[in-house]
Amino acid sequence: MKTYKMSKDRFPEFIELIKTKGQLFGPVKGNGHYSFEKIEKFEDLDFDYQRTVIGPKKFLTPSRYPTLRYDKTGQSDVFVSDEPQIVIGVHPCDIHGINILDRLFLGNIKDPYYEKRRNNLIIIGHSCFPDENCICKSTGTDMVEDGFDLFFTELEKHYLVWVGSDKGLSIAIEAENLLSEEISEEDIQDYVRWQQKRSGMFKSEIPSFKYLADIIHLNYDSKVWDQFGEKCLSCGTCSLVCPTCNCFNVEDRINMNAEDGYRERILDSCTLPYYSMVAGNHDFRPDRTARLKLYYTHKLKEYIGKWGQPSCVGCGRCVTFCPVDINVITVSEALFGEVCENQEVCD
Amino acid sequence: MWKREKKPVVGVFGFSGCAGDQLAILHMEDELVDFFTSADIKFFHMAQSHQEVEHVDIALVEGSINTDKQLAELKEIRKKADIVVALGTCATHGGIQYLGDNEKEFEERMLLVYGKDGKIPEFSELVGNPIPAKPIHKFIEVDFSIPGCPIAKENFIPIYTKLISGLKPSKYPYPVCIECKFQGNDCFLLHGEYCLGPVTAGGCDACCPTFGVPCVGCFGAYEGANFESMIEKLIEIGLTEEDAKRKLMMFGGEATELALKGEK
């Protein structure tokens, strides 16, 4: 991996440069919350943010998009245009989220709609400092080694720019008058100090996250799920804000002329009623408890069995946005709490 | 390649309400020509002067039932129609006029509103005798429901076009929160403001929250709504239990009323 240094005052020039490569998106503050929006000028960007409501998954699995158009004469697939989309300011947790989506959509069977969007997407990461809802240290996703094209670590006086792909390298080569390859001893010390400072800022941790999957498995019939099921609003917010949740529903939409129409993918949530309904109106998860349990056991346990890691990247969105405080922290605390209470082993 | 044999006959019927759902259909200006050509619209009070029809394939019925005369007409429509669709929150849930239900006895309410010299005046034959407002499924079998106050075209068109194409619309309930997060909005409830998104049927593209106004629940109850938890949340942000229930009942209709009584 190649690493460069960039003086902070050259950053606006860099933004101007990458704007010529395609549509640029980045973190923007509006109405009290952050979101990835189209960037017209450098001043629109605000990198001093913890999390957007919806992560960069919105560029890969948008909330709704057509996959097929049809009329009386036939049908054709709908793909996005080839214009590159560049998203800047993506935090390590969200890059881990994209890596998880890549594994799902670009595995043995490639999803052509996702693949096209992913090939068009240039990811430029940005370092961050955690708030009290960030749990990426526990999930091991506070640092990121791959999945980005470029990654900017913001130190006191300058940026360290890490190159993560060929695409990233060609941008870096084009921006060579803004970048320096000379990284001094002092720069390295700056970086270590920055790492130590960041590491000390984490306030939330799930100490036993490593064997949380085992606890979920061993304590599968826990009463904790009923308590959360009573509280859950079945509103689906947790799924939609989660950077790795990607379930979608498929609907045919016929236009008013009743002659042509399109097929659409719409993001879904396993916490909604009928999510698990199959042919013959059989619904094997009719109640909230069963659905919520599915959400968390899939995310924190089943996923490990298949991919070797949970599909939680510790971004803290469920912690921030669930209106009734059901999230990875409260669920794991409750599950451990119950074990501790029963067996008096946790003191 | 598919082909319809003939255009389905569609009737749009209206009972008690603001007629906003009929108006919402006429407001779909981009789709209006297609609406009148893709089906044979035989009965549409707000749009046509010719008002007789023997049989309709699909009846779109707006409004709640408020008089015995309306009730008789509704039953006639059921006889004439192969498919009956409840259109708008008044028809699907009872609408705002359901709000007064059960707060006082019906007679008492009638006296309060229409009373003269301590008596309820006679109602003309044109109107019929008043009965407590109810959604149409209380009286006849309803095949599909499209709530909304008024209906949203994004929600109405895909269901309607499936029906006129001889297909069965899929039923998949979700709350306003889903569409609110599609828009990338923050959540009012997290900032101590009331919002009924989690218990309200979606279909509106969360237009109010997107423009900074909390959801008041105008699409009626969401099928998966957890009213108990919602009330707790509203109390937590400073509403009294009574206020919380009144807000839920504004558009909630019978489904919400039963849930609040614990009979759901």
Residue A219: what residue type?
A: N
> pLDDT tens digits, chain A, 347 residues: what are they?
799 999 999 999 999 999 999 999 999 998 889 999 999 999 999 999 999 999 999 999 999 999 999 999 999 999 999 999 999 999 999 999 999 999 999 999 999 999 999 999 999 999 999 999 999 999 999 999 999 999 999 998 899 999 999 999 999 999 999 999 999 999 999 999 999 999 999 998 887 888 889 989 888 899 999 999 999 999 999 999 999 999 999 999 999 999 999 999 999 999 999 999 998 989 999 999 999 999 999 999 999 888 888 999 999 999 999 999 999 999 999 998 877 766 656 65
Q: Exposure string (b/e) for B186-201, b if CB count within 10 Å is 16 or more? A: bbbbeeeebbbbbbbb
CA distance B216 to B224: 17
- With both helix axes pointing from N to C terminus, report the angle between B241-260 and B227-236 in degrees, rounded to the nearest 10: 180
Would you give the distance in Å from CA A180 to the centre of its chain? Answer: 31
Q: Do B198 and A235 touch (CB under 8 A)?
A: yes
Residue A190: how many other CB atoms lie within 10 Å:
18
A100 and A146 in contact (C-beta within 8 Å)?
no
Q: Do B224 and A258 touch (CB under 8 A)?
A: no
* Per-residue model confidence (pLDDT) at position A304: 87
Residue A159: how many other CB atoms lie within 10 Å:
23
Residue B1 pLDDT class (50, 70, 90 cuts) = very low
Residue A251: which of A34, A67, A91, A41 has the closest Cα? A67
Tell me the three state secondary structure of residue A71.
strand
Average the pLDDT over B205-219 and give the result.
Answer: 96
Residue B264 pLDDT class (50, 70, 90 cuts) = low
CA distance B118 to A183: 93
pTM value?
Answer: 0.93
Output A205 or B30, whichever has higher pLDDT.
Answer: B30
Residue B7: which of B33, B36, B38 has the closest Cα? B38
Mean pLDDT of chain B: 92
B123 and B66 in contact (C-beta within 8 Å)?
no
Token digits for A324? 């009734």
CA distance B204 to B221: 13
Q: Do A72 and B2 touch (CB under 8 A)?
A: yes
User: Of A80-84, A218-222, B72-76, B238-242, which gets the smallest average pLDDT?
Assistant: A218-222
| Residue B66 exposed, middle or buried by CB count within 10 Å (0-12, 13-18, 19+) | buried
Q: Exposure string (b/e) for A203-237, b if CB count within 10 Å is 16 or more? A: ebebebbeebbebbeebeebebbeebbebbbbbbb
Measured torsion, CA atoms of residues B111, B112, B115, B117, in degrees rounded to the nearest 10: 100
Strands A3-7 and A158-163: antiparallel
Token digits for B227? 């009213």
* Per-residue model confidence (pLDDT) at position B2: 45
Query: How many Cα atoms occupy the beta-carbon half-sphere of B96 within 13 Å?
Result: 6
* Per-residue model confidence (pLDDT) at position A307: 85
Residues of A in contact with B3 (CB under 8 A): 72
CA distance A129 to A10: 22
For chain A, list residues whose CB is within 8 angstroms of any CB belonging to chain B: 31-33, 35, 52-54, 58, 63-64, 72-74, 230-237, 240-241, 249, 251-259, 261, 267, 269, 272-274, 288, 320-321, 323-324
Q: Which of the residues A133, A235, A262 would you substitute to probe the B interface, choosing the one with the greatest number of B C-beta atoms within 10 Å? A: A235
Query: How many Cα atoms occupy the beta-carbon half-sphere of B196 within 13 Å?
Result: 25
Q: Residue B8 gets which letter from DSSP?
A: P
* Per-residue model confidence (pLDDT) at position B124: 85
In this prediction the ipTM stands at: 0.93
Tell me the three state secondary structure of residue B9.
strand
Q: Do A234 and B1 touch (CB under 8 A)?
A: no
Domains and CATH numbers, chain B: 9-164 (3.40.50.700), 176-260 (no CATH)
Q: Does residue B98 sit at the A interface (CB-CB below 8 Å)?
A: no
CB pairs under 8 A between A and B: 129
Q: Do B1 and A72 touch (CB under 8 A)?
A: yes
Residue B189: what residue type?
A: L
CA distance B142 to A258: 23
Q: Does residue B181 sit at the A interface (CB-CB below 8 Å)?
A: yes
CA distances from B107 to B48, B68, B123 (A): 37, 15, 14
Output B52 or B34, whichever has higher pLDDT.
Answer: B34
* Per-residue model confidence (pLDDT) at position A16: 96
Average the pLDDT over B185-193 and give the result.
Answer: 95
* Per-residue model confidence (pLDDT) at position B52: 79
Q: Does residue B193 sit at the A interface (CB-CB below 8 Å)?
A: no
CA distance A299 to A162: 30
